[in-house]
Amino acid sequence: MSSSSSDEVDEALDEIVDEVVDNYIDSMVNAQINKPKRRSYIERERELGHKQLWNDYFAENPTYQPEMFRRRFRMNKTLFLRIVQSLTNELPYFQQRRNAHGRLGLSALQKCTAAIRMLAYGQSGDMYDEYLRLGESTSRLCLDNFTNGIIQLFGAEYLRRPTPADLQRLLDVGEARGFPGMVGSIDCMHWEWKNCPTAWRGQFTRGS
């Protein structure tokens, strides 16, 4: 065999080897790209979250008094419990159930607290992960189900247009407080707030 034909064979073999190697590398890369990524599971010990919430606000001798509850939940405890009870009775999502392993899921108190805290403070869902023990996506799902449930159960009674009797009552309350003819809240941009905290000035006042 001449040297030229031997070189041709070597080149052909090199091309075949290169092609096989390239195809193998491409298949491995594509397999990694197309392989679905599993979400990492975090054991949050949600039972501890419910226990902590119960001891803080709902036990016979809670850690925080009703005044703190009213400030943090933006409503009194009686109203909150009425909402929780109504949602639990009417909507399966808020009913605590056991999973396939027999373990209890999140309680209605945890779900409603997450939703109300997000509404009250305008914060993201993962702000309450460490305390309530539920992830960000679960918090958003709680908020979605909570708002839909409120509309479904209380919309006809509380989310309607005010009647003439409602308007008259609001006008009477406003006049008794020194704001005749006012319906709704004060427009703070046109009312001097003498003791406005400096940190909140940009939110509630305008100009000097």
- 126-148: average pLDDT: 89
Rg (CA), the chain: 31
Q: How confident is the model at residue 112 (pLDDT cuts 50, 70, 90)?
A: very high
Best-predicted range by mean pLDDT among 29-33, 103-107, 198-202? Answer: 103-107
CA 202, chain centre distance (Å):
26
DSSP strand E in the chain: where?
none
Q: What's the CA angle centered on 175, arms 173 and 177, to 5 degrees? A: 70
Q: How confident is the model at residue 186 (pLDDT cuts 50, 70, 90)?
A: low
At 193 the three-state DSSP class reads coil
Report the distance separating Cα 146 and Cα 157, nearest Å: 17
Which residues lie across from 98 on neighbouring strands? 104
Q: How confident is the model at residue 107 (pLDDT cuts 50, 70, 90)?
A: very high
- Looking at every residue in the chain, the average pLDDT score rounds to 81
In whole angstroms, how far apart are CA 50 and each of 53, 80, 155?
5, 16, 29
Asked if 136 and 42 count as a contact pair (C-beta separation under 8 A), the reply is no
pLDDT at 145 over 90: yes
Q: How confident is the model at residue 90 (pLDDT cuts 50, 70, 90)?
A: very high
